[in-house]
Amino acid sequence: MKTITIIGTQWGDEGKGKLTDILAEEADLVVRYQGGNNAGHTIVFKGQKHALHLVPAGVFRPQTQCVLASGMVIDPVALADELKQLEAAGVDTSSVVVSDRAHVILSTHRTLDVAMEAAREDRVGTTGKGIGPAYADKAARHGLRMVDFVDETRFKQTLEAYLNVANRMVKAYGATPCSAERILRDTAEARRLIAPRLKDTSVYINRALDAGKKVLFEGAQGTMLCLDHGTYPYVTSSSPTAAGVPLGAGVPPQAIKTVLGITKAYTTRVGEGHLPTEIDGDIAHAIRERGREYGTTTGRPRRIGWLDAVVLKHAKRISGITHLAVMLLDVLRGVHPLSICVGYRLDGDIIDWIPASVDDVARCEPVMITMNGFDDPLDDVKTFDDLPKNAQAYVKKIAELTSTTIAFVSVGPDRDQTIRLVDNLWEG
């Protein structure tokens, strides 16, 4: 089976969209398998910037088919808007198919997301898109799936029963209940646009794999936001790891071959929760402005930290990362010295894993090494050998600390600003 799985190794926004778009040129299928429109994946080419939230980042490659698989939670109105926007920009979206088993996000979920956050003392800092409540409904077995949503008669029936339960929760949080009529009206156009795209996507993807086609799995969020392996409770409600692929796409675990971890050359985080290598002051400010570190989905300023090899090793351990793409290296120009966290000091020991307890994580003191920085702009660098020597040494250090092969170095947001070091990643 010819597959590549793209995994965020940090707290999201590592540049997964850019890398997916690049590898999509070689892929037959690009599959989103978890999350929803909490994701914001940016792709830049021909001087234009596109932000995708639900549609896979293969949509700009005419020969590539795009799949929203069953592990996703999909806001149908947001999906319809995104498809319409893409079409208006001249992008053909006819290949985009949607799983009949994917769960649907309704206004109840968005209302609850915001109301539950407001009621908490320790906020997660969610995107407010209804992701957590939709996955909670799925686990509680009264969620609504796409197969129920697209059939108006069936949707009317299931919606009444669903709202009987959901609105009790909405009222308990002091929010305004959602009416069936309003939901039916607001989602009518989306139902019409999405219905013809519905498929059993597991059958669809497995047929492609059996036929020797190349399938790219596009992770959203990042390992540290994983419900099981992230910094709980400051996480999302799905699994953005390689383990999420078989479950969320309906493919066998053996389908996971090359696992490409995406990492920034530093670290960012939006939302609450500890960030062990967090920095503020001039360096953080310079990195935030040069890297335009503001959320693609919510516009919030991202918090900035040094690169954390403990986090990268954690991601590698869980997802079996074989290769890394080091992104936004250009942003570190002029930063002297460059620092990397190589372990955490906790109660006199040095550890290279992440403690479960939030309090223990907060007590971890990062153990840092420093490296010489570089001053030359990287925007036009096309080969690894043409990178400044100190930038080369920094990238090699990341490979050494994580025992992975560096497959890509990214030196700017554009498709063309990418140095490729490994040719055939499809062989696994």
| Binding residues vs ligand IMO (CB under 6 A) | 8, 11-13, 38-41, 124-127, 129, 131-132, 220-222, 225, 236-237, 270-271, 296
x/- track of binding to ligand GDP for residues 14-43 (CB under 6 A): xxxxx---------------------xxx-
x/- track of binding to ligand GDP for residues 43-62 (CB under 6 A): -x------------------
Minimum distance between the CB of residue 400 and ligand IMO, rounded to whole angstroms?
A: 26
Structure tokens at 181: 């009529």
Structure tokens at 125: 């800092």
Q: Of the two residues 56 and 143, which places its CB atom closer to ligand GDP in the complex?
A: 56
Minimum distance between the CB of residue 134 and ligand GDP, rounded to whole angstroms?
A: 20
Q: Which helix (H) or strand (E) holds 217?
A: strand 214-218
Cα separation, 266 vs 222, in Å, equals 14
Cα separation, 41 vs 51, in Å, equals 6
Minimum distance between the CB of residue 113 and ligand IMO, rounded to whole angstroms?
A: 7
Minimum distance between the CB of residue 39 and Mg ion, rounded to whole angstroms?
A: 6
Q: Are 383 and 419 in contact (CB under 8 A)?
A: yes
Residue ranges in 283-342 that form contacts with ligand GDP under rule CB under 6 A:
291-292, 296, 327-328, 330-331
Active site residues: 13, 41
- Quick one: how many helices (H) and strands (E) in the chain? 14, 21
Q: Of the two residues 14 and 28, which places its CB atom closer to ligand GDP in the complex?
A: 14
With CB under 5 A as the contact rule, the residue among 4, 13, 270, 341 that binds Mg ion is 13
Q: Of the two residues 129 and 199, which places its CB atom closer to ligand GDP in the complex?
A: 129
Minimum distance between the CB of residue 415 and ligand GDP, rounded to whole angstroms?
A: 10
Cα separation, 167 vs 174, in Å, equals 10
Q: Of 242, 197, 180, which is closest to residue 4 (Cα–Cα)?
A: 242
Q: Of the two residues 137 and 330, which places its CB atom closer to ligand GDP in the complex?
A: 330
With CB under 6 A as the contact rule, the residue among 1, 10, 13, 134 that binds ligand GDP is 13
Q: Of the two residues 10 and 296, which places its CB atom closer to Mg ion in the complex?
A: 296
Strand pairing partners for 344? 351, 366
State the binding partner of 132 from ligand GDP, ligand IMO, Mg ion, none, CB within 5 to 8 A by kind: ligand IMO
With CB under 5 A as the contact rule, the residue among 296, 404, 410, 418 that binds Mg ion is 296
Contact range with ligand GDP by CB under 6 A, out of 157-165, 344-352, 393-401, 410-418? 410-418
State the binding partner of 15 from ligand GDP, Mg ion, ligand IMO, none, CB within 5 to 8 A by kind: ligand GDP
Contact range with Mg ion by CB under 5 A, out of 56-64, 178-186, 288-296, 345-353? 288-296
Q: Of the two residues 137 and 218, which places its CB atom closer to Mg ion in the complex?
A: 218
Residue ranges in 348-407 that form contacts with ligand GDP under rule CB under 6 A:
none
Question: If DSSP codes are grouped into helix, strand and coil, which group holds residue 417?
Answer: coil
Q: Of 28, 33, 35, which is closest to residue 1 (Cα–Cα)?
A: 28
Full DSSP string of 292-314: T-B-TTT-PBPEEE-EEHHHHHH
Full DSSP string of 116-180: HHHH-SS-----SSSHHHHHHHHHHT---BHHHHSSHHHHHHHHHHHHHHHHHHHHHTTPPPPPH
Phi-psi region at 293: left, alpha or beta (left = phi > 0; alpha = psi -120 to 50):
beta
State the binding partner of 109 from ligand GDP, ligand IMO, Mg ion, none, CB within 5 to 8 A by kind: none
Q: Of the two residues 53 and 214, which places its CB atom closer to ligand IMO in the complex?
A: 53
State the binding partner of 409 from ligand GDP, ligand IMO, Mg ion, none, CB within 5 to 8 A by kind: none
Tell me the Cα Rg of the chain.
21
Phi-psi region at 27: left, alpha or beta (left = phi > 0; alpha = psi -120 to 50):
beta
Q: Are 67 and 198 in contact (CB under 8 A)?
A: no
Is the Cα dihedral 354, 355, 359, 363 positive or negative? negative
Minimum distance between the CB of residue 330 and ligand GDP, rounded to whole angstroms?
A: 5
Q: Of the two residues 150 and 225, which places its CB atom closer to ligand IMO in the complex?
A: 225
Tokens 């080091």, located at residue: 326
Q: How far is CA 111 from CA 88, 129, 280, in A?
A: 30, 9, 33
- The site for Mg ion (CB under 5 A) is made up of 13, 40, 296
- The site for ligand GDP (CB under 6 A) is made up of 8, 12-18, 40-42, 44, 291-292, 296, 327-328, 330-331, 410-413
